[in-house]
């Protein structure tokens, strides 16, 4: 069957002969260069036409009479894997299998041509890009390059030889780290020294003379001056058992008990590679790809992945960047942990003077000390030069007087979540700062409009809601009030980009997107608990979805006090569907901060003090009933939010939940999942997305 991808950007494969005499070998190497003809923003990818290009280039290289074959990429880019742009058009398993087999048929020629083959990996090599290298006999790598096999992260397996060849090359335990652990840790990529240490590549060279050094390496191998020894890992029973445990643990950390096929199949392929021939191993990879590509989790992962990547580049509804004001000095009101995190993030990324304040000097000093310590830690981990850390410390100041904010262009408050405190603060700041200075609030649930409606210049006030921990969580909710002007919003977006955040512009509505949905679903869990459902059943209700943590673990992370305050705010603004839980009230009243303790083995057990606070209801539910109830509530709330215009599109809700709560990638976002399971229609009478979005048409 022919394989086509309608939207493929074709990566060409150009062949030229290189005389190796100057490098000490009396012969020639046929060098294949992969190049899609575009700039560095569009890496080489491998689609059906690209595979045909590479196949023809291998024909030419073999026909040239050269002594060896080399493959390299365009400047600073080797290849970023398979071209997945046409996935939505694949509706037949035979198409998926044919694409997998075509890749195998072409790539394996590099390892079975009868001539020595070299991969000169001069830049980024992901997935199929790295697999090209694995099919070659020898590999060099640029010192600035990153390599990875991210397929399991996207709901696939390394299906062009990676799952079979990598364990044989570097051993099963190391392969499990690359294929399972790194992929499931949000696609962690290997730096060049790590790839060399693992044995994935044979040499690392600086980019300035990378090709020359790589050709010299090839000449030494061809002349016999350099011998590359390969270990035999096939007989080490313990290593193969350990690899299975390492991979299984990575799957459990990421998905819990959720039935996710890609990790399961990847583990099976790695185990089979111990005895697999290339024929049997590659055939098994084709089978796995056929199964996965025609499965909804892969479609869902690609939808979510593409949504995240697109949103990094463009913020929906953002005004033109030219409207943004220049920011040369930033103020942070507060010196507690959240405020200190904000100050550190701004300091590191904007690299402008930052001033913090608090009620007394002891709190200010504590905040400054925390920031200084974090900078020192970055230096000790070699993630920042000592000179830069020293400079950043010098431009960080603190005091107890808000008058010191007078020269600031942008001020963000992170004080106690109480409306009158924030209104009073903004009133005071307005008498100190210039009319152009922007006032931002990190509130998680209060009305930004009410916070600013008494000001002379409410148009310069905006919600700037980060998630904890600030440096790690990628989402930033930017909340516009009816008064917020475009210049303020544009400035906020520019700052957000400099802070490396993915942003969603939301209407100023109670709790914006993430906390409104999170509290609605958490409320259903705690309601079930209060009604008499056991803590174990209530907490395990969402386990099959593979969420990052259980409901009560999340409650402990957020803190019962914060959860209670947000619930009370939403109950007052949105009504009784946000019921205030008597159990949570007791937890706060009795100072109980966590629902779980750890036993001597590190296992989570119910905190007896928390158990004593649980409402003693008499109407227990099953885990399935609790889960259906919680998901139904999510669908209803999401529909209301779209009807109210909190965000403009369902995709923005998906993005918020993916990045703000860790909603699993393999579910494709919350709304596609609710569509696929039929909950959207049963709860609201309609789907959120058209059929075919994040699922098979």
Backbone φ/ψ region at 20: left (φ over 0), alpha (ψ -120 to 50), beta: alpha
Residue 429 has pLDDT above 70, yes or no: yes
The most distant pair of C-alpha atoms in the chain lies apart, rounded to whole Å, by: 87
Residue 697 has pLDDT above 60, yes or no: no
Q: What totals of helices (H) and strands (E) does the chain contain, helices first?
A: 29, 20
Contact by Cβ (8 Å): 297, 669 = no
When pLDDT is averaged across residues 646-655 and rounded to a whole number, the result is: 96
Tokens of 445: 């649930």
Return the CA Rg of the chain: 28
Residue 50 has pLDDT above 80, yes or no: yes
Which pLDDT band, with edges at 50, 70 and 90, does 666 fall under?
confident
| pLDDT over 70 percentage in the chain | 98
Which pLDDT band, with edges at 50, 70 and 90, does 696 fall under?
low
Q: How far apart are CA 152 and CA 184, in angstroms?
A: 7
Cα torsion 345, 350, 352, 358 to 10°: value is -30
Contact by Cβ (8 Å): 83, 45 = yes
Contact by Cβ (8 Å): 182, 190 = yes
What residue ranges define each of the domains in the chain, with the CATH number in brackets? 12-294 (3.90.226.10), 321-507 (3.40.50.720), 514-645 (1.10.1040.50)
Tokens of 613: 């606070």
Which DSSP state fits 119? E
**Model pLDDT for residues 542-557, shown as the tens digit of each residue:** 988 888 888 998 888 8
More confident residue, 369 or 549: 369
**Model pLDDT for residues 183-229, shown as the tens digit of each residue:** 999 889 999 999 999 999 999 999 999 999 999 999 999 999 999 99
Residue 610 has pLDDT above 60, yes or no: yes
Tokens of 563: 């959860």
Out of 350-364, 400-414, 439-453, 680-694, pick the least confident.
Answer: 680-694
Closest CA to 170 of 81, 236, 221: 236
Out of 78-92, 174-188, 554-568, 648-662, pick the least confident.
Answer: 78-92
**Model pLDDT for residues 68-111, shown as the tens digit of each residue:** 999 999 999 999 988 877 666 677 778 888 889 999 999 999 99
Residue 257 has pLDDT above 60, yes or no: yes
Half-sphere exposure of 17 (CA within 13 A, CB side): 12
Query: Whole-number mean pLDDT of the chain?
Result: 93
pLDDT at 180: 97
Contact by Cβ (8 Å): 120, 72 = yes
Cα 4 from chain centroid? 30
Alpha helices in 72-203 (DSSP H): 93-107, 109-112, 128-135, 162-170, 172-176, 183-184, 192-198
- Name residue 508's beta-bridge partners: none
Indicate if the alpha-carbon torsion angle 73, 77, 82, 88 is positive or negative.
negative
Query: Which of 8, 151, 220, 524 is an active site residue?
Result: 151
pLDDT at 244: 96
Residue 598 has pLDDT above 90, yes or no: no
pLDDT at 88: 60
Closest CA to 653 of 636, 629, 678: 636
Out of 68-77, 130-139, 554-563, 617-626, pick the least confident.
Answer: 554-563
Q: How far apart are CA 247 and CA 253, in angstroms?
A: 10
pLDDT at 87: 67
Contact by Cβ (8 Å): 122, 210 = yes
Query: Which of 131, 220, 430, 637 is an active site residue?
Result: 131
Q: How far apart are CA 268 and CA 467, in angstroms?
A: 37
Contact by Cβ (8 Å): 181, 153 = no
Count of CB atoms situated within 10 Å of the CB of 251: 23
Q: How far apart are CA 590 and CA 611, in angstroms?
A: 12
Closest CA to 573 of 505, 632, 520: 520
**Model pLDDT for residues 391-413, shown as the tens digit of each residue:** 999 999 999 999 999 999 999 99
Residue 459 has pLDDT above 80, yes or no: yes
Tokens of 581: 């839980």
Out of 253-257, 370-374, 679-683, pick the least confident.
Answer: 253-257
Indicate if the alpha-carbon torsion angle 661, 665, 668, 673 is positive or negative.
negative
pLDDT at 1: 39
When pLDDT is averaged across residues 507-528 and rounded to a whole number, the result is: 95
When pLDDT is averaged across residues 126-140 and rounded to a whole number, the result is: 97
Which pLDDT band, with edges at 50, 70 and 90, does 3 fall under?
low
Closest CA to 547 of 647, 631, 637, 477: 631
- Phi and psi dihedrals of 601, rounded to 5? -95, 0
Taking each helix axis as running N to C, give the angle between helix 128-135 and helix 93-107, from 0 to 180 degrees, rounded to the nearest 10. Answer: 40
Is residue 151 annotated as part of the catalytic site, yes or no?
Answer: yes
- Phi and psi dihedrals of 463, rounded to 5? -80, 135
Contact by Cβ (8 Å): 212, 141 = no
Contact by Cβ (8 Å): 530, 244 = no
Long-range contacts of 424-429 (CB under 8 A, 24+ apart): 425/333, 426/451, 426/452, 426/455, 426/461, 427/454, 427/455, 428/402, 429/333, 429/402, 429/405
Cβ contacts of 284 within 8 Å, gap of 6 or more: 164, 268, 269, 272, 276
Residue 643 has pLDDT above 80, yes or no: yes
């Amino acid at each position: 069957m022919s394989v086509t991808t309608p939207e493929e950007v074709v990566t060409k494969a150009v062949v030229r002969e290189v005389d190796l005499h100057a490098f000490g070998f009396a012969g020639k190497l046929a060098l294949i260069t992969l190049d899609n003809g575009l700039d560095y923003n569009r890496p080489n990818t491998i689609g059906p036409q690209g595979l045909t290009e590479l196949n023809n280039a291998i024909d030419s290289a073999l026909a040239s009479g050269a002594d060896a074959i080399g493959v390299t990429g365009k400047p600073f880019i080797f290849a970023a894997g398979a071209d997945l742009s046409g996935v939505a058009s694949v509706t037949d398993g035979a198409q998926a299998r044919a694409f997998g087999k075509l890749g195998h048929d072409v790539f394996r020629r590099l390892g079975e041509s009868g001539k020595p083959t070299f991969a000169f990996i001069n830049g980024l090599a992901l997935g199929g890009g790295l697999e090209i290298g694995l099919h070659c006999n020898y590999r060099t790598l640029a010192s600035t390059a990153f390599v990875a096999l991210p397929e399991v992260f996207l709901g696939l397996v390394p299906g062009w030889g990676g799952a079979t060849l990598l364990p044989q090359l570097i051993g099963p335990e190391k392969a499990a780290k690359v294929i399972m652990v790194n992929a499931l840790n949000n696609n962690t990529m290997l730096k060049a020294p790590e790839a060399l240490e693992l044995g994935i590549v044979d040499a690392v060279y600086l980019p300035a003379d990378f090709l020359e050094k790589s050709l010299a390496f090839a000449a030494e191998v061809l002349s016999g001056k350099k011998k590359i020894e390969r270990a035999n890992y096939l007989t080490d029973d313990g290593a193969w058992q350990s690899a299975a445990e390492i991979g299984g643990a990575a799957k459990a950390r990421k998905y819990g008990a959720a039935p996710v096929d890609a990790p399961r199949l990847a583990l099976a392929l790695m185990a089979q590679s111990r005895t697999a021939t290339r024929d049997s191993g590659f055939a098994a990879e084709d089978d796995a790809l056929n199964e996965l590509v025609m499965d909804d989790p892969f479609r869902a992962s690609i939808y979510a992945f593409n949504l995240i990547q697109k949103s990094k580049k463009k913020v929906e509804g953002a005004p033109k960047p030219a409207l943004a004001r220049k920011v040369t000095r930033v103020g942070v009101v507060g010196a507690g942990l959240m405020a200190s995190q904000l100050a550190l993030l701004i300091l590191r990324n904007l690299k402008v003077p930052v001033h913090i304040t608090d009620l007394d000097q002891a709190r200010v000093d504590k905040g400054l000390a925390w920031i200084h310590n974090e900078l020192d830690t970055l230096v000790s981990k070699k993630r920042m030069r000592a000179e830069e850390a020293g400079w950043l410390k010098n431009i960080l100041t603190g005091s107890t007087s808000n008058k010191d904010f007078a020269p600031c262009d942008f001020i963000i408050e992170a004080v106690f979540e109480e409306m009158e405190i924030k209104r009073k603060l903004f009133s005071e700041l307005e008498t100190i700062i210039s009319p152009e200075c922007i006032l931002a609030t990190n509130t998680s649930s209060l009305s930004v409009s009410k916070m600013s409606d008494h000001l002379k210049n409410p148009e310069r006030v905006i919600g700037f809601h980060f998630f904890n921990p600030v440096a790690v969580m990628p989402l930033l909710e930017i909340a516009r009030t009816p008064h917020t002007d475009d210049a303020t919003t544009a400035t906020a977006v520019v700052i957000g980009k400099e802070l490396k955040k993915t942003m969603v512009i939301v209407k100023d509505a109670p709790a914006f997107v993430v906390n409104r949905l999170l509290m609605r679903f958490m409320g259903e869990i705690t309601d079930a608990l209060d009604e008499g459902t056991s803590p174990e059943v209530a907490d395990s209700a969402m386990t099959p979805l593979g969420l990052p943590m259980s409901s009560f673990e999340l409650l402990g992370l957020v803190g019962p006090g914060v959860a209670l305050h947000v619930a009370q705010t939403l109950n007052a603004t949105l009504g009784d569907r946000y019921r205030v839980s008597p159990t949570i009230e007791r937890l706060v009243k009795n100072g109980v901060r966590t629902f779980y303790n750890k036993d001597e083995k590190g296992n989570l057990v119910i905190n007896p003090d928390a158990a004593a606070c649980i409402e003693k209801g008499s109407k227990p539910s099953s885990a399935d009933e609790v889960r259906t109830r919680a998901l139904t509530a999510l669908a209803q709330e999401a529909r209301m939010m779209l009807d109210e215009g909190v965000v403009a599109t369902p995709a923005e809700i998906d993005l918020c939940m993916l990045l703000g709560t860790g909603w699993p990638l393999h579910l494709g976002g919350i709304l596609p999942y609710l569509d696929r399971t039929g909950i959207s229609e049963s709860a609201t009478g309609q789907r959120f997305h058209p059929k075919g979005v994040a699922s098979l048409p």
